[in-house]
A and B are shown apart, each in its own frame.
Chain A
């Protein structure tokens, strides 16, 4: 087994104990990355010499931080001093970050070695990771399929051992969707749990920063670093599920579901019940919560990009340009209505948390779609693929709730994700349940590299 196949926690422990050096770990990861990059393109930029220099510097230090010498990758939407900061767009070609984002500073302070810049959907404004400027990142389980997005490069890099963990952003599902479609773990924490300073905005009232990795424990460690909450999440990981009230939504909104995904989800629920969780059916106006996310996303993104759209509307890829134009045309009263509706729904969600401890859903209703597949058939009806991919994730961006995606099986030989959502600030509960599920579920295969 290559060192690149260790989990983040295993690699960090091995370095701390002196069993391996940061240089050895980095060489293993770079070897993997240089083989994977031409096929799946997880990175927009990778400078092996820069990574080696950093590893050698770390090797000279006494291990101190949680991530000492551990390779971690940032989505190219998060500033990293001295590295390209393209946000996946030709409009920013040649831009180099002059300062670190706050989360970058925290990773460096914890000892991480930053490896490459992860591929993404242009300006994070899409969930397929099909990027007309740089080509698509590809799914490690089937390169003809999308890895999901917008943090698609992050998920591919983690799934294939090109890095141990990655930091992405999630505005409508952009951490959880690629995590689910590539078979890795990802968490969107509570809104404003992790600082967004130095992260290029998509829709500021929906933007969240969150980690992806291969295990729940690994994302817990990364989240502790990103949120500056040492020990808070890892300490809870041993808790069981006995007595946990698990809310499962019902109604037509949740019935738009690929049968293989439905089967994996039901199996995951049985597994959780086998560990002591109790299933409770919950009702909530999910479609309205999703509409809130749609309105806020389109208008806020159009506001962020208004100046560039006026100057160079055709400098964007066609899909992003079209979404920005739609956002510029939405009536202001719809935006204000969405802001008011979000507050009403947030208030209603307080009632929900009186009757359940967590909510469980599939992360994405379908397995990874083929690249270029704009319409997907589910249960005999045709759906817009992009709307399908965000259907189960964006309500929780509107509400700002912590939401984890953890792999729960395969449909059509492609990974499926289980989404666990908790009350505000209860990342520890979400991660503990995810870890308990992961233990009960057992090992799943990894993609062949």
Chain B
């Protein structure tokens, strides 16, 4: 996504959550970097897991 498009998307997402911020101050590059980092999740087979809290048996 182009930077201008990502900025507009980010602004709309925040406004939908009731947050109003100067669009020029939005951390667009940071969002892009995080989204890229989260792509590492795609390599994990989660087909047999339900979302839920971490629970270790014990102690």
Which A positions have Cβ atoms within 8 angstroms of B?
190-191, 193, 205, 285, 287-288, 290-292, 294-295, 298, 306, 309-310, 313, 322-323, 325-326, 328-330, 334, 336-347, 384, 387, 399-400, 424-425
Contacts and interface: CB of A to CB of B under 8 A. Distances in A.
25 contacts: A191-B54, A285-B44, A288-B43, A288-B44, A291-B37, A291-B38, A294-B34, A295-B38, A306-B17, A309-B19, A310-B17, A310-B18, A310-B19, A322-B27, A322-B30, A323-B27, A328-B14, A329-B31, A343-B52, A343-B54, A344-B45, A400-B54, A400-B56, A424-B58, A424-B59
A339 B55 CA distance: 12
A399 B55 CA distance: 10
Contact of B21 (A191, A291, A323, A325): A325
B30 A326 contact: yes
A344 B48 contact: yes
A313 B21 contact: yes
Interface centre among A285, A298, A343 (most CB of B within 10 A): A343
B46 A341 contact: yes
B49 A344 contact: yes
Contact of A346 (B14, B18, B51, B54): B54
A328 B17 CA distance: 8
A27 to B, nearest CB: 40
Contact of A288 (B10, B34, B41): B41
Given A339-B52, A424-B59, 17 more contacts: A190-B56, A205-B53, A285-B44, A288-B43, A290-B37, A291-B37, A294-B34, A313-B20, A328-B13, A338-B38, A340-B51, A342-B54, A343-B46, A344-B45, A347-B49, A384-B33, A387-B37
Interface residues of B, number: 35
Contact of B14 (A205, A325, A343, A345): A325
Nearest to A306: B17
A425 B58 contact: yes
B34 A313 contact: no
B8 interface: no
Contact of B13 (A322, A329, A424): A329
Contacts of A337: 41, 46
Contacts of A322: 27, 30
Interface in B2-28: 10, 13-14, 17-21, 26-27
Contacts of A347: 49
A330 B34 contact: yes
B40 A287 contact: yes
A292 B17 CA distance: 24
Interface centre among B10, B14, B41 (most CB of A within 10 A): B41
B4 to A, nearest CB: 16
A193 B58 CA distance: 10
A326 B9 CA distance: 12
A325 B25 CA distance: 11
A334 B20 CA distance: 24
A310 B14 CA distance: 9
Contact of A325 (B19, B38, B39): B19
Contacts of B38: 291, 294-295, 330, 334, 338
| Smallest CB-CB A-B distances: 5 pairs | A339-B51, A340-B46, A425-B59, A424-B56, A322-B27
B51 to A, nearest CB: 4
Contacts of A425: 56, 58-59
A343 B55 CA distance: 9
Contacts of A291: 37-41
Contacts of A339: 51-52
A384 B51 CA distance: 30
Contact of A292 (B30, B41, B50): B41
Nearest to A348: B44
A329 B10 contact: yes
